[in-house]
Structure 1
Amino acid sequence: MGSGLDLGLDAAALTAALVDIPSVSREEKPLADLVESALRAIPHLRVDRDGDAVVARTELGRAERVILAGHLDTVPIADNLPSRLDDGGLLWGCGTSDMKAGVAVQLKLAADLAAPNRDLTYVFYDAEEIAAEFNGLGRLVAHHPEWLAGDFAVLLEPTGGRVDGGCQGTLRVRVQTSGRRAHSARSWLGDNAIHKAAPILARLAAYRPRRVEIDGLVYPEGLNAVMIEGGHAGNVIPDTCAVTVNYRFSPDQSEAQALARVEEIFDGFEVVLTDSAPGALPGLSHPAAAAFVAAIGTPPAAKESWTDVARFSALGVPAVNYGPGDPTLAHTREENVAVAAVLDAERKLRAWLTT
């Protein structure tokens, strides 16, 4: 593919070029270098870099600033590189859907739109696919929040070409029990902590999750056991047990409110918070968001997972998810994206930003 990124390619061909540059999480530097170099060659952009995150922006003095953001990293390669284009117009390979197609769209717009109708900030960041402590967007929030200032943001995660508003929040807790250890041959001398977990599971089974409507979008919640730990040996009455519970909560609740709800559900048990991330409101009442939904032309839906739109929401920037690719194919060996979907996403974004 030569010594650099050719931003003259169409968005689908540029997607293939990006896919053929491996960028597994924490190994994004070669791709980040190419992205930075390509963007610095564009005269209408100011370019900054922090680690393996690259931020480019127009400075035209427009009344509104829109942020287009996407991550450069992928999950580990699963024998699905280099990319290949089949006769049906599907581009196959690691990162095609999640989310180098979205990144290619960002790069095409960055190269072509010298005079958009809104000022634009393009954010390309690292380490989204691994633990939050490494997330490049989180690092930018901490180190350079001024680079992320804006009125509205679009995260180009794969959404099947629809607008997914906001995102769920998520937290995990360990609901713990304790007992008395003993030899299982003399079980009456012990107090079985695993047996004490039965009411925890019963409360989970009886729980009826809320379905919360915000801006016309319905966010279904979920409260589920995702792990259970306990026991020492096949002949020992266990004295500890913990059920790890994941609560996916609607963005109408703060993290503190979500934790309080979980603590209420498991009243009488020890509840220990292990991790938490806030949700994001859809922000579809914002004029820029309404114009964006109209430009895309399909009914919006609620994002039924957590995404980095929450980081923008925490900064006071309304944000939505929108990008080419099927999110159910993300992280699979069969990951692919339709060429037509990539070109359609670029066309719709271009029209929104120039009309």
Structure 2
Amino acid sequence: MSSPITPLDLTLDGGALTARLVDFPSVSGDEKALADAVEAALRALPHLTVDRHGNNVVARTNLGRSERVVLAGHLDTVPIADNVPSWVEGDLLYGCGTSDMKSGVAVQLRLAATLTEPNRDLTFVFYDCEEVEAARNGLGVLVRTHPDWLAADFAVLMEPSGAVVEGGCQGSLRADILLTGTRAHAARSWLGDNAIHKAAEVLRRLAEYQPRRVAIDGLEYREGLNATRIDGGVAGNVIPDECRVHVNFRYAPDRSVEEAEAHLRSVFEGFELDLVDVSPAALPGLGQPAARDFLAAVGGEPRAKFGWTDVARFSALGVPAVNYGPGDPNLAHKRDEHCSLSAIAETEERLRAWLS
């Protein structure tokens, strides 16, 4: 017999609903109970059509509007750090996931429950496993299995952004530069060829590298190319025959994955380069009509997103997307993670004004 579903009360205000969600543990891979509760709460709303795949829940209005907007957020959190259940101190709600990103999910649920006649058709996406490896990401699963569920003219990812619009995201390319030599006894080093010494040229190129600053839709993206790890050496008395320099290239969204790889290979021409991981960038799409309306409604000065987020998945589907949520990204994953209750209410009301 299956366990009874713990109900979610969507008439609670955004802060109280966030607290309820925080008190509903959902560490990555263990989101089923929360997904069950979200699905049950949404199925009780007659103006929504609800679908589910695994622990990913998608609810939609079907009013025949000329535009469709996605509001998306992940249900999972990093492991709990003695910060559940939640607690309140003044205007601050503390607890695991308050900032990243159950405050954003609470706003989604509040809007899903109360916007019965929005000016655009709406799709609400609640997905699992965002905080772990990309292969398990629930939004990625939906992209592969049900891309039609995600079709839209514009998307808002409710990732923590301090209630400021953060457009698009950087791409990320990680690679190993393999340096080889000849092993020998350190006492007879002339018989060997030191692979670690060859890293000097790689490090010189990195030190002299001048990263671009790129303006897109009025937002400045700053690229970066850095060594993040060096591995090499056999023993204290051995000339090493192998060394790896691990580099991370954060690139602006005017580059495709292929262009980013070609650029990296040109920087390290003459060296063997082994790609480890590639994540595409996402254009901000702020020139789109829906994005312009969104910016006018929520106010504030938009900024570029430094880092990678799931807006890239929407961008790959041809859906312009921005990051916009009440949480502070600098507080994500911290033991004292918290979110402003007033920011939750303000974010909900700004979105409501845009969609009403």
TM-score interval, smaller chain: over 0.9
Question: How large is the Cα RMSD of the aligned pairs?
Answer: 0.8
What secondary structure sits across from 1:21 in the alignment? Answer: coil
The partner residue of 2:349 within 327, 347, 350 is: 347
- The corresponding residue for 1:68 is 71
- The corresponding residue for 1:315 is 317
Q: How far does residue 183 in structure 1 lie from its aligned partner after superposition?
A: 1.2
Output the CA distance in 1 between the equivalents of 2:111 and 2:159.
16
- The corresponding residue for 2:6 is 3
- The corresponding residue for 2:140 is 138
Alignment-mate amino acid for residue 148 of structure 2 = E
Output the CA distance in 1 between the equivalents of 2:199 and 2:322.
39
Alignment of 1:95-244 (within 5 A): 95-244=97-246
Runs of 4 or more, structure 1, over 6 Å off, are none
- The corresponding residue for 2:80 is 77
Output the CA distance in 2 between the equivalents of 1:189 and 1:22.
60
Q: How far does residue 352 in structure 1 lie from its aligned partner after superposition?
A: 0.4
Output the CA distance in 2 between the equivalents of 1:296 and 1:39.
26
- The corresponding residue for 2:39 is 36
Q: Which runs of 5+ in 2 are unaligned?
A: none
Q: How far does residue 327 in structure 1 lie from its aligned partner after superposition?
A: 0.4
Output the CA distance in 1 between the equivalents of 2:15 and 2:235.
56
Output the CA distance in 2 between the equivalents of 1:341 and 1:187.
63
Output the CA distance in 1 between the equivalents of 2:67 and 2:264.
40
1:249 aligns with 2:251: yes
Q: How far does residue 184 in structure 1 lie from its aligned partner after superposition?
A: 1.2
Output the CA distance in 2 between the equivalents of 1:198 and 1:31.
51
Query: What's the CA shift string for 1:146-189, capped at 9, x where partnerless?
Result: 00000000000010111001100001010110000111121111
- The corresponding residue for 1:50 is 53
- The corresponding residue for 2:307 is 305
Q: Which runs of 5+ in 1 are unaligned?
A: none
- The corresponding residue for 1:21 is 24
What secondary structure sits across from 2:198 in the alignment? Answer: helix
Output the CA distance in 2 between the equivalents of 1:38 and 1:288.
28
Query: What's the CA shift string for 1:253-290, capped at 9, x where partnerless?
Result: 00010011110101110011111011010100000000
Q: How far does residue 47 in structure 1 lie from its aligned partner after superposition?
A: 0.4
Output the CA distance in 1 between the equivalents of 2:287 and 2:76.
32
Alignment-mate amino acid for residue 19 of structure 2 = A
Q: How far does residue 325 in structure 1 lie from its aligned partner after superposition?
A: 1.2
Output the CA distance in 1 between the equivalents of 2:233 and 2:55.
44
Output the CA distance in 1 between the equivalents of 2:191 and 2:353.
74
Output the CA distance in 2 between the equivalents of 1:325 and 1:3.
25
When normalised by structure 1's length, the TM-score is 0.98
1:89 aligns with 2:84: no
Alignment-mate amino acid for residue 218 of structure 1 = E
Output the CA distance in 2 between the equivalents of 1:163 and 1:84.
28
- The corresponding residue for 1:260 is 262
Identity %: 66
Q: How far does residue 3 in structure 1 lie from its aligned partner after superposition?
A: 2.9
Q: How far does residue 227 in structure 1 lie from its aligned partner after superposition?
A: 1.0
Alignment-mate amino acid for residue 37 of structure 1 = A
Output the CA distance in 1 between the equivalents of 2:224 and 2:29.
31
